[in-house]
Amino acid sequence: MAFTWFHKLGSPPYAYALAARLTPWFGWTAALLIAAGLYGGLVLAPPDYQQREAFRIIYVHAPSAWMSLMIYSTLAISAAVGLIWRIKVCHAIAASCAPIGASFAVAALATGSLWGKPMWGTYWEWDPRLTSELILLFLYLGYMALRSAIDEVVRADRASAVLAIVGIVNVPIIHYSVEWWHSLHQTATVMKLAKPAMPPAMLIPLLMMLLGFTLMFFALLLVRLRAEILRRERSARWIREALPA
């Protein structure tokens, strides 16, 4: 009986209605956090003692990189749950994640490149962190290409789920690449067990940006999920009630 909420979430009409109700809460909270994080990061935080003002790129680079990894994990886990328990909504979540995650992988690579030039003297290097992040972008693109190549939704869901699950091996590789191999990239600033390597005036805006971007992802995902559910449930009777005339 404790699992009835889970069954409810798996029902397309319920998921559609809940997504519509939650979107503005996530969206506006995200907007406020990002606005505050930007002000804190660009204006209030002091310049870094080594990287001076260039370090401020961290406030867009780290959230973008975090998004690319967190969204891929969400995608792969929902695809796995969808594959194992045959829950349609989970496949719809996985499919909705892909374009969002791919766009933030591009943002992470582009902002990292713009940070690399003044700090390392090059826009690009075949470095473990950079290369594994590029592979993540290709995984997203491969996932989307595979889905669009298969017309039948159920088969597209299953085949792309397998690709997504195999690809998740890349996520810890990206995260630990800076420790396992010699990398130009600096090691973790926030995502580690020890004390973060930043004073609060630098760290708090970064945490606000990370949380703001995460909530923005939920808002984007919920909007895309509704589109995906409508596309899959074309003939269902509940759609008539869910759509205002």
* Interface with other proteins, residue 61, by CB under 8 A: yes
For the chain, strand residue ranges (E) read none
34 to 53: interface string for other proteins, x by CB under 8 A: --------xx---x----xx
Query: 215: closest CA among 17, 4, 24, 7?
Result: 24
Phi, psi angles (nearest 5°) of residue 136: -60, -45
The two structure tokens encoding residue 70: 């967190």
* Interface with other proteins, residue 143, by CB under 8 A: no
Q: Which one, 43 or 194, has the nearer CB to other proteins?
A: 43
- Single residue of 107, 136, 202, 206 touching other proteins by CB under 8 A: 107
Q: Which one, 114 or 159, has the nearer CB to other proteins?
A: 114
∠ at Cα 47 (41, 50), nearest 5°? 130
Identity at 163, one-letter amino acid code: L
Residue 106 CA to residue 88 CA, distance in Å, equals 29
User: Closest approach of Cβ 144 to other proteins, in Å?
Assistant: 13
User: Closest approach of Cβ 195 to other proteins, in Å?
Assistant: 27
Task: Check if the beta carbon of residue 92 is closer than 8 Å to that of residue 228.
Answer: yes
Residues at the contact surface with other proteins, assessed by CB under 8 A: 42-43, 47, 52-54, 56-57, 60-61, 63-64, 99-100, 103-104, 106-107, 110-111, 114-115, 117-118, 216, 220, 223-224, 226-228, 230-231, 234-235, 239-240, 243
